[in-house]
Amino acid sequence: MKNLKGAALLGQSGGPTSVINSSAAGVFLEALKQENITDVYGAVHGIKGVLHEEFYDIRQEDVEELKLLKNTPSSAIGSVRYKLADPKKDDTDYKRLLEVFKKYNIRYFFYNGGNDSMDTCNKISKFFKKSGYDCNVMGVPKTIDNDLNITDHSPGFASAAKYVATSFMELYLDATVYAIPQITIVEVMGRNAGWLTAASALASYKGQGPDLIYVPEVAFDLEEFFEDVKRILKEKGKVLVAVSEGIKNAKGQYIAETLQELKTDAFGHAQLGGTAAVLATEVSNRINVKVRAIEFSLLQRSAAHLASKVDVEEAFKAGQKAVKAAVRGTTDKMVGFERVSSNPYKIKYKLISLKKAANEEQKLPLEWIKPRGQGFTQEFIDYALPLIQGESKAKLVDGLPRFAKLKKIRVQKK
């Protein structure tokens, strides 16, 4: 839909990353330049903010602060986990969204998130089209899990991967300090896709990483695990283990499931965590040495001080390109990456239909995974290493990062 004139709206969705705000900076700064975009709004806590007519007026922000968003972690305008119903079953939310979009003449909608958010985006886009409301809807990818479909990778993954690899190198040195046998089990986020846990293999590639790495793509066998831990303990005196929160047994049950009550989030996903702790307890019961469980927890998705420059720049450009494409008339697409070459690293941006991008998880290729937790093939290293290159972080003031501070002035409700 070309030459649409109206407001642009950005929503941030799902779990934050170190660079989701870099995409926001890309969207905002580009939207502010576009003649056809009359106003620039930020949805207060994603799609829920839209339903409640709660918007920040981005035109009232200082451009310098918006630029600082590039290196500010977390979701500056607030995020949400809210699943829209299937419009065929219940179109209440969609009708309300249409009403709000019309009322504020929102003609450009950008939604920055993972699989579920692209699904949301897709449903909204289709509903608007069916309703005859002209609005260009664009998805901007974001996920530390790297499980968005079709795109080579997603913004957020690389910085989290850099955090994981760097932290494993440091932990490796720490965990080998005493002349006593020791087992350290470190839990990395990742419910169904093991990309981020696999990033620990970059540390092993540098000779300072985990001995064993377990991802959800491969069934986890507790007995084999004990065998392998015991063998390495005998050989080296220390064992460093990387484990995805979402590892499952051969029956597909989460390993953490047996020992804790599971909660589910708004999307019906099991809320995991504690996998390392559960495993550490099991190991302690079987092997009489010092065992420690460490969880990277929220640190892995918010450590902007360790962001990859490649990631920060790509996240920004993905936002920028979404706006440019929308203004050119593109709708119903997500900005994605296609890898041209790994060495030297070169990507090209592409537009992927929202339907294809949404709701199918891109998992680690099984042929990249070595058997029995022994890490990953060179293909994975070649894939991941270019992504974590370079540094881009907030300027330090008093030795501490100067993150963006937005005024967050609300748009008056109409």
The verdict on whether residue 57 carries a ligand-binding annotation is: no
Within 8 A by CB and 6+ apart from 213, the residues are: 197, 198, 200, 201, 204, 241, 242, 243, 373, 374, 375, 376
Options 99, 396, 407, 409; binder of a copy of itself; rule CB under 8 A: 396
* Residue (175 or 326) nearer to a copy of itself, CB: 175
Candidate ranges 139-147, 204-212, 317-325, 372-380; the one touching a copy of itself (CB under 8 A)? 204-212
Q: Nearest to residue 296, comparing CAs of 177, 114, 148, 162?
A: 162
Q: Is residue 388 near a copy of itself by the rule CB under 8 A?
A: yes
Q: Is residue 304 near a copy of itself by the rule CB under 8 A?
A: yes
Options 5, 85, 99, 173; binder of a copy of itself; rule CB under 8 A: 173
Name the residue with tokens 């994603």: 46
Within 8 A by CB and 6+ apart from 378, the residues are: none
Helix (H, G, I), strand (E, B) or coil at 10: strand
Options 5, 206, 231, 348; binder of a copy of itself; rule CB under 8 A: 206
Q: Nearest to residue 194, comparing CAs of 275, 258, 259?
A: 275
Site for a copy of itself in 13-32 (CB under 8 A): 15-16
The verdict on whether residue 285 carries a ligand-binding annotation is: no
Options 23, 75, 146, 204; binder of a copy of itself; rule CB under 8 A: 75
The pair of structure tokens assigned to 129 is 């089209």
Options 37, 68, 171, 256; binder of a copy of itself; rule CB under 8 A: 171
Q: CB 277 → a copy of itself: shortest distance, Å?
A: 9
Q: Is residue 78 near a copy of itself by the rule CB under 8 A?
A: yes
Applying CB under 8 A, the site for a copy of itself has a residue count of 59
Q: Where are the beta strands (DSSP E) in 229-332?
A: 238-244, 263-264, 270-271, 290-295
Q: Is residue 390 near a copy of itself by the rule CB under 8 A?
A: yes
Options 144, 188, 196, 202; binder of a copy of itself; rule CB under 8 A: 202
Alpha carbons 299 and 166: distance in angstroms, whole number: 13
| Given 145, 152, 228, 332, the catalytic residue | 145
Report whether 264 contacts 258 (CB < 8 A).
no
The verdict on whether residue 39 carries a ligand-binding annotation is: no
Alpha carbons 162 and 55: distance in angstroms, whole number: 33
Within 8 A by CB and 6+ apart from 15, the residues are: 79, 114, 143, 144, 301
- Tell me the pairing of strands 238-244 and 212-214: parallel
Q: Is 145 a catalytic residue?
A: yes
Binding site for a copy of itself (CB under 8 A): 15-16, 44-45, 48, 72-76, 78-81, 162, 165-167, 169-171, 173-179, 184, 202-203, 206-208, 292, 294-295, 297-299, 301-306, 308, 385, 388-391, 396, 398-401, 403, 405
Instruction: Enumerate the active-site residues.
Output: 145
Residues in binding site for diphosphate:
15
Residues in binding site for Mg(2+):
115
